[in-house]
Chains A and B, each alone.
Chain A
C-alpha cells in the first residue's frame, strides 16, 4: 500500500513544482462534454522558455485542455494561472493559434486584415491604424514567409498558407506564451519547416511555446518537453525523461503498435 502512495505522490509533486512563476499552470482541470469528463483532474506546469508538445491519442482531450486553459471552454473544476496571475489579467502575454478548420475561410477578408486582428488589444474599437501598425503586421507576415500574400483573399490560400497566416496573427500580439492547436495538421513540408523555424526563433528570444502535436516521429526534433495526456495527465517532463516506451504504452494503450512504440522510444 505504501508503495502505491509514493508512486502517485511523486507524480503529483513534479506537476506542482514551480507553479508560481510558470507561464501556464493548470491545477485539477476537469472538463466534461455531456455526462463524462473528457479531461480529468489535470495538473500541468509549463516551463518558461521551453517548447512543449502536448501529445496523446485522438479524443484524449488535448485541444480541450488548451481551450480550458484559455477560457474558451468552462471547466467543471480546476483553475489556470498565467505567469502566476488569473487569465483575465494576463491576456496581453498569451497568444493562441486555433485549429485551421475552426473558422470559415470563405469569410470576406484579406490576409493582412487577419494579421491586424492580432493588434486588436492595442487598437481597440476606434484607434486609428498607423503606418507602424501595418509595418508590424507586414513584419509578422514576413517572418512566416507570407509577405507577398498580404492582399490575397484568405479563401484563396492553401492549407499551409492559412496556418502561417494564423501564426503571423499570433506573432503580431507580441505575447510571451504561444499556445498552438495542431499547427502542423494537414500542412505541406515547406510550411512545417517555416513554422518550426519561427517557433524555434521564439524560443531563442526566451518565449514559451506549447503546441498540441500529433506526429510522434517529430517530437524529439521539434520539442524540448512533452506533456502526455489521455483524459488524465499521463506524464510530463523533458523528452528524454517522459517520452519513454512505458509512458507511450500507458498513454496510447493498444492504439499504438508495439513496434512503433519500441522504435520511438529507442530513438529517445
Chain B
C-alpha cells in the first residue's frame, strides 16, 4: 500500500496541492481588486504561448514553454490595458477581445504545425494530466529519504514547489504595499508607492503561477484556484491575513479531496475507471464556495 501510494499518488497529490495554493495566494488580491477574470484571461493565453515556444524551439521542453507562456501572459495583460485605455473600452470587454483572439491564434497555430509526434494538444492545455505524473523509482515511504530515488521525482513537482515558494516569499515581502494599493490606490500614490508597478507585479506573479501549474494540471483548475478559494475565504472572515489563511486551506482541501474523489470515487460507485482529477479539483472548490456562500459567517458585507 505504502509503495503504491508513494509512487503513484503522492507526486500528483503534491503537485495538485502546490498548484492550487500557488494560484490561490495571488487570487486573494485579484478578487479584492475585482480583477478575478485576469486569471481567466491568462490561463487562456497560455496555449498560444506554449505553441509559439514549440514552433520556435521545435521540441516539447518545460522551460521554453514556460517562458513562452509567460511572455504570452505579459502580452495579453499589456494588450488588455492598452485597449482599455486607448480605446476607452470597459475592462471585461477588453479582456474578452484579447484572450479569445489569442486563444484562437493558438489553436490555429497548433493546427498548422506538425505536432503529431509530440504530446501537445488543446485538451492537454485545458485539463492537464495530473494522473500521469508518477514517481517510478519509489519503493515506499523510505524513498523519501533516498537521494537517488528523490532525483527521479517528476520535474513538475520540483517546479511547482519552487514556484509556490517564490510566490509565497513575494507575497510576504510585498504584503503591506499590496494591501494598501488594493484598498486605496489614490492614497497609496500620494505616499509615493509605485502603484502601477505593484499592480503589474501582481498580475505577473499570477501568470507565473498559472504557467507553472498549467503543464501539470491544465488551465481549468488554474482559473478555479485563482477565484474559488479566495472567494470562499471572503465569506469566512473580515481580516485580510485570515482570509489568505482560509484560502490556502480551501485550496489544499480542494486539491486533496478532488484528487482522492477523482481516483477512488468512481470505484466506490462501482465504476472501473478514474475521472479527470483536474476537473474534480475544480468541482470540489466550487462545492466549497457554494457551502461558504450558504453558511459562511461573513457571506454578506
CB-nearest residue of chain B to A175:
B190
Give the interface segment out of B7-15, B55-63, B177-185: B177-185
CB-nearest residue of chain B to A117:
B180
Inter-subunit contact B301/A121 (CB<8 Å): no
0 or 1 for each of A99-137: is its CB under 8 Å from B? (1 = yes): 000111011111000100100110111100000000000
Interface check A94, CB cutoff 8 A: yes
Inter-subunit contact A96/B301 (CB<8 Å): no
Q: Please, how many angstroms separate the alpha-carbon atoms of A224 and B238 in the complex? A: 42
Q: Please, how many angstroms separate the alpha-carbon atoms of A88 and B180 in the complex? A: 19
Interface check B240, CB cutoff 8 A: yes
Residues of A contacting B193 with CB < 8 Å? Answer: 120
Interface check B271, CB cutoff 8 A: no
Q: Please, how many angstroms separate the alpha-carbon atoms of A103 and B180 in the complex? A: 11
Give the interface segment out of A66-74, A185-193, A244-252, A258-266: A66-74
Cβ-defined partner of B301 (8 Å) among A98, A106, A123: A106
Interface check A153, CB cutoff 8 A: yes
Interface check B141, CB cutoff 8 A: no
Known: A107-B32, A120-B177. A153 touches B238 (CB 8 A): yes
Residues of A contacting B239 with CB < 8 Å? Answer: 108-110
Inter-subunit contact B174/A91 (CB<8 Å): no
CB-nearest residue of chain A to B190:
A96
Inter-subunit contact A117/B187 (CB<8 Å): yes
Inter-subunit contact A98/B186 (CB<8 Å): yes
Residues of B contacting A110 with CB < 8 Å? Answer: 238-239
Cβ-defined partner of A107 (8 Å) among B183, B187, B189: B183
CB-nearest residue of chain A to B33:
A104
0 or 1 for each of A25-48: is its CB under 8 Å from B? (1 = yes): 000000000000000000000000
Residues of A contacting B182 with CB < 8 Å? Answer: 107
CB-nearest residue of chain B to A124:
B176
Interface check A155, CB cutoff 8 A: yes
Query: A145 CB to closest chain B CB, in angstroms?
Result: 21
Interface check B173, CB cutoff 8 A: yes
Cβ-defined partner of A108 (8 Å) among B176, B191, B243: B243
Q: Please, how many angstroms separate the alpha-carbon atoms of A98 and B32 in the complex? A: 19
Q: Please, how many angstroms separate the alpha-carbon atoms of A224 and B189 in the complex? A: 29
CB-nearest residue of chain A to B175:
A125
Query: A184 CB to closest chain B CB, in angstroms?
Result: 19
Query: B290 CB to closest chain A CB, in angstroms?
Result: 20
Q: Please, how many angstroms separate the alpha-carbon atoms of A104 and B183 in the complex? A: 7
Residues of B contacting A114 with CB < 8 Å? Answer: 183
Query: B120 CB to closest chain A CB, in angstroms?
Result: 41
Inter-subunit contact B190/A72 (CB<8 Å): yes
Q: Please, how many angstroms separate the alpha-carbon atoms of A180 and B129 in the complex? A: 56
Q: Please, how many angstroms separate the alpha-carbon atoms of A117 and B177 in the complex? A: 9
Inter-subunit contact B180/A72 (CB<8 Å): no
CB-nearest residue of chain A to B192:
A91
Residues of A contacting B240 with CB < 8 Å? Answer: 107-109
Residues of B contacting A124 with CB < 8 Å? Answer: 176
Residues of A contacting B238 with CB < 8 Å? Answer: 108-110, 153, 155
Q: Please, how many angstroms separate the alpha-carbon atoms of A103 and B190 in the complex? A: 15
Interface check B44, CB cutoff 8 A: no
- Residue picked from B186, B190, B238, B243, most chain A C-beta under 10 Å: B190
CB-nearest residue of chain A to B172:
A126
Query: B116 CB to closest chain A CB, in angstroms?
Result: 50
Q: Please, how many angstroms separate the alpha-carbon atoms of A72 and B185 in the complex? A: 9
Residues of B contacting A109 with CB < 8 Å? Answer: 179, 183, 238-240
Q: Please, how many angstroms separate the alpha-carbon atoms of A121 and B243 in the complex? A: 25
Inter-subunit contact B184/A102 (CB<8 Å): yes
Interface check B237, CB cutoff 8 A: yes
Q: Please, how many angstroms separate the alpha-carbon atoms of A70 and B187 in the complex? A: 9
Q: Please, how many angstroms separate the alpha-carbon atoms of A98 and B190 in the complex? A: 10
Q: Please, how many angstroms separate the alpha-carbon atoms of A153 and B239 in the complex? A: 8
Known: A110-B238, A125-B174. A103 touches B183 (CB 8 A): yes
Query: Which positions 135-192 of chain B face chain A at CB distance < 8 Å?
Result: 173-174, 176-177, 179-180, 182-184, 186-187, 189-192
Inter-subunit contact A72/B176 (CB<8 Å): no
Q: Please, how many angstroms separate the alpha-carbon atoms of A126 and B176 in the complex? A: 8
Inter-subunit contact B192/A88 (CB<8 Å): yes
- Residue picked from A120, A125, A155, A169, most chain B C-beta under 10 Å: A120
Known: A70-B189, A71-B190, A155-B238. A98 touches B177 (CB 8 A): no
Residues of A contacting B186 with CB < 8 Å? Answer: 67, 70, 72, 96, 98, 102
Q: Please, how many angstroms separate the alpha-carbon atoms of A126 and B301 in the complex? A: 30
Q: Please, how many angstroms separate the alpha-carbon atoms of A54 and B240 in the complex? A: 36
Inter-subunit contact A120/B176 (CB<8 Å): yes
Query: Which positions 221-274 of chain B face chain A at CB distance < 8 Å?
Result: 234, 237-240, 242-243
Interface residues of B (CB under 8 A from A): 32, 173-174, 176-177, 179-180, 182-184, 186-187, 189-193, 234, 237-240, 242-243, 301
Closest 3 CB pairs of A and B: A153-B238, A96-B190, A106-B301
Task: List 7 additional A-B contacts (Cβ < 8 Å) besides A96-B190, A108-B237, A109-B239.
Answer: A98-B186, A107-B183, A108-B239, A109-B179, A109-B238, A110-B239, A120-B177
Provide a sorted-by-A list of 13 A–B residue pairs whose CB atoms are within 8 angstroms.
A70-B190, A88-B192, A98-B186, A103-B183, A108-B240, A109-B238, A109-B239, A109-B240, A117-B180, A121-B192, A124-B176, A126-B173, A153-B238
